[in-house]
């Protein structure tokens, strides 16, 4: 899988990731970095696949997320990016995870990570509709329980 992610990552300018980290460090805390810090500790909880010390994993996660928020201030950071990056960091290095995130957010799923998450909400509606067609008893049961099938963690 790691090789496939590297192929999909489409790395940009060499040194861009490191420059973003330096820029973020020089600028100090931003609203995005404060939100990232709130979400960090919820990310790896109970994930046995994390083979590096927790603090090291959190530092890598923070680096990738803050670099991306600096790279694309229009999108910045939104909740759920942390889980995407956490999975990536299980198989690739920080810089590759950064470029993979950029590819996912900007090319593969544009609009899904916008502040209003509009495209994710559309996908949830589509999932609900498909479940209604393919598994009507399941969706009726979920509706009765007032459980909304969600693609967003």
Domain carrying residue 17: 2-108
Count of structural domains within the chain: 2
pTM here? 0.76
pLDDT in tens, 112-146: 887 777 777 788 888 888 888 999 998 898 888 88
Rounded Cα distance between 40 and 56, Å, is 12
Q: Tell me: pLDDT of 97 over 70.
A: yes
User: Contact at 8 Å (CB) between 15 and 95?
Assistant: no
- Judgement on whether residues 122 and 104 belong to the same structural domain of the protein: no
Phi, psi torsion values for 101, nearest 5 degrees: -60, -45
pLDDT at 151 over 50: no
**120 shares a domain with 100:** no
Question: Which single residue is written with the structure tokens 């973020």?
Answer: 24
Do 50 and 26 reside in the same domain of the chain? yes
Q: What is the pLDDT of residue 153?
A: 42
133 and 60 together in one domain: no
CA angle 134, 138, 141 (to 5 degrees): 145
Q: Are 91 and 2 in contact (CB under 8 A)?
A: yes
Are 104 and 128 found together in one domain? no
The pLDDT score that the predictor gives to residue 146 is 82
DSSP state of 35: H
């Amino acid at each position: 899988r790691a090789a496939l992610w590297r192929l999909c990552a489409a790395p940009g300018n060499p040194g861009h990731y490191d420059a973003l980290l330096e820029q973020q460090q020089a600028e100090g805390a931003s609203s995005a970095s404060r939100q990232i810090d709130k979400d960090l500790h919820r990310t790896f909880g109970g994930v046995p696949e994390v083979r590096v010390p927790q603090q090291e994993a959190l530092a890598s996660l923070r680096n990738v997320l803050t670099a991306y928020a600096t790279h694309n201030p229009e999108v910045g950071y939104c909740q759920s990016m942390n889980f995407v990056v956490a999975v990536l960091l299980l198989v690739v290095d920080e810089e590759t995870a950064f470029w993979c995130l950029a590819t996912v957010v900007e090319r593969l799923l544009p609009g899904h990570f916008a502040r209003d998450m509009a495209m994710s909400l559309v996908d949830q509606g589509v999932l609900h509709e498909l479940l209604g067609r393919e598994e009507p008893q399941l969706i009726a049961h979920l509706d009765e329980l007032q459980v909304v099938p969600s693609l967003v963690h």
